[in-house]
Amino acid sequence: MSKLFPHLFTPGKIGSLTLKNRIMKAPQSSGMSNMDGTVSERLVRYYRQQAAGGAGMIIVEYAYVDDIGAKSAHCHLGISNNEHIPGLAWLAENIREQGAVPAIQIEHCGRQKFLGTQPICAPSAIPWPKLWDQYGVQAVPHVLTIEEIQDIVHAFGDAALRAKQAGFELVEIHGAHGYLLTNFFSPTTNHRTDLYGGSLENRMRIYVEIVRDVRKKVGPDFPVTIRLSGTDYEPDGFPIEDTIELAKVLEKEGIDAFHISGGDHHTMIHQVSPMAIDVCHNVWAAEAIKKVVHVPVIASGSITLPEYAEEIIASGKGDFVGLGRPLWADPEWPLKAMEDRPEDIRPCIRCNEGCLERTFFNFKAITCAVNPTISREGELDLKPAAKPRKIAVVGGGPAGMEAARVCKLRGHEVTLFEEKELGGLLHEASVPEFKSDIRPLCKYLITQIEKLGIPVEHKKATAADLAGYDAVICATGSRPILPGVPGIDKPGVMDALEVLNGARKPEGRIAVIGGGLVGTETALHLAEQGMHTTLVEMLPKIMNGVAATDQLAYSERIAKADMEVCTGTRLVSIGDGEITVSDHTGTHTIPADSVIIAIGLKAQDSLYGELCAQGKEAYLVGDAVHPGKIFDAFHTAYRVAWKI
Write the single-letter amino acid at 24: M
Amino acid at 506: P
Rg of the chain on CA atoms, in Å: 26
Which amino acid, one-letter code, is at 202? N
Instruction: Reduce the DSSP state of residue 422 to 3 states and report it.
Output: coil
Residue type, 493: V
Q: Residues 6 or more apart from 297 whose CB is under 8 A from it?
A: 257, 258, 259, 260, 286, 289, 290, 318, 319, 320
**Which ranges constitute the DSSP H helices of 126-239?**
129-135, 146-166, 180-185, 200-203, 205-218
* Residue whose C-alpha is closest to residue 355's, from 268, 424, 294: 268
Distance, in Å, from the CA atom of 112 to the CA atom of 239, rounded to the nearest integer, reads 20
Q: Is 238 helix (H, G, I), strand (E, B) or coil?
A: coil
Sheet containing strand 493-495, strands side by side: 493-495, 594-597, 510-513, 533-536, 563-566
User: Across-strand partners of 538?
Assistant: none
Q: What angle do CA 308, 313, 317 make, to 5 degrees?
A: 95
Residue 163 exposed, middle or buried by CB count within 10 Å (0-12, 13-18, 19+): buried
- 143 strand-pairing partners: 122
Report d(CA 617, CA 583) in Å as an integer. 49
In whole angstroms, give the CA distance from residue 8 to residue 56: 10
Check if the beta carbon of residue 162 is closer than 8 Å to that of residue 79: yes
Q: Please, are residues 533 and 527 in contact by the beta-carbon 8 Å criterion?
A: yes
- 622/544 Cα distance (integer angstroms): 20
Residues near 380 by Cβ (< 8 Å), separated by ≥ 6? Answer: 372, 373, 638, 639, 642
Give the Cβ contact number of residue 390 at 10 Å: 12
State whether residue 218 is helix, strand or coil.
helix
Q: What does the alpha-carbon distance between residue 159 and residue 106 come to, in Å, rounded to a whole number?
A: 7
- 619 labelled catalytic: no
387 by DSSP, 3-state: which? coil
Out of 46, 62, 135, 179, the active site residue is: 179
Q: How far apart are CA 350 and CA 352, in angstroms?
A: 5
Distance of CA 563 to the CA centre of its chain: 28
Handedness of CA 580, 584, 586, 589 (dihedral sign): negative
As beta bridge partners, residue 471 has 391
Helices (H), 257-321: 283-290, 306-315
d(CA 632, CA 622): 6
Dihedrals phi, psi of 578, to nearest 5 degrees: -165, 160
8-state DSSP, 177: B
For residue 340, what are the contacts with CB-CB under 8 A and spacing of at least 6? Answer: 2, 3, 4, 5
Give the Cα separation of 358 and 349 in Å (integer).
Answer: 16
CA distance 38 to 237: 35
Residues marked as catalytic: 179
